[in-house]
Amino acid sequence: MNNSENVAVSRELTDKFNDPYWGAEQLQRIPFFAKFSNEELASLYKRGEIRTLKPQAHAIIEGEPTRGVFIILHGAASVFKNDIATGSMYRLARLEENQYFGEFSLFDEAPRSATVLAETFSYLFYLDSPEFDNFLSERGPEAQVRFYKTCAEELSVRFRAINADYISSQKLLWKYALRKATEDDDENTAK
C-alpha cells in the first residue's frame, strides 16, 4: 500500500472508530460488559479514546500501575510475561482485531501482570478505570450490581477452565514421570 492508500484506509477506519454504536458492538465482545444495553455501551465508548501504536510500541508494561481496558480495533499485538528467575520475556499470546486485554484492571488495582507490544501498526480503544468508575457511579447501584455479578460469573467460568487445564496437565506429567521411571528401571535391569 502506498502512502495515499494508507491515508484513505486510515480515514475510513477513524470514521468507523468514531461511531459510538459501532463502538458499543466492540465493547459487547468483553464478557464483563455483557449485561449492559447498547445505549449504555455507546455512552461508555464515548468516554474512551482511540490510541495508535507503531510496531514494537508498548500498550502496557508488566508491573506498571496503570488501569484500563484495551480493545484491538485494527492490527495485532503480543502478550509477554517476564520470568523473574531468568529475566527472560515469554510470549503468551498473539491478539488480533476484536480481542481485548487489561479488563481485570477495571476492578483490580494490582500492577499490570504482563507486557503487551504492538506487532503491526495498530488502533486500540482505551477506557481508563477511573472513567469507567464514573460511568458506573452515574448509573447507580443497579448498574454496579449488574457489572460485578457479570464479573463474578465470568471469573467463575475462567477459574473452572483453569482447574480443568491444571488437572489435565497433572495427569500428563504423572503419565510421563511414570513412563520415564519404567524406562529407567528397564535400563537398569538390562545392565
Which residue in 110, 52, 101 sits closest to 78, CA to CA? 101
pLDDT in tens, the chain (191 residues): 444 444 455 778 888 899 999 999 999 989 999 999 999 999 999 999 999 999 999 999 999 998 999 999 999 999 999 998 998 999 999 999 999 999 988 888 899 999 999 999 999 999 999 999 999 999 999 999 999 999 999 889 988 988 888 888 888 888 887 777 777 777 776 66
Domain count, the chain: 2
If asked whether residues 101 and 170 sit together in one domain, one would say no
If asked whether residues 21 and 92 sit together in one domain, one would say yes
**Residue 2: all three cell numbers together:** 502506498
The CA–CA distances, whole Å, from 20 to 29, 64, 164 equal: 15, 29, 38
If asked whether residues 159 and 101 sit together in one domain, one would say no
If asked whether residues 130 and 160 sit together in one domain, one would say no
Residues in CB range of 75: below 8 A, 6 or more apart? 53, 96, 97, 118, 119, 120, 121, 122, 123, 124
3-state secondary structure of 110: coil
Q: How many angstroms separate the CA atoms of 24 and 37, rounded?
A: 9
We report the CATH number of the domain holding residue 76 as 2.60.120.10
The distance from CA 74 to its chain's CA centroid, rounded to whole angstroms, is 15
Where does a domain end: 122, 139, 156?
139
* Structural domain of 23: 3-139
If asked whether residues 128 and 51 sit together in one domain, one would say yes
Strand partners, 101: 70
If asked whether residues 101 and 151 sit together in one domain, one would say no
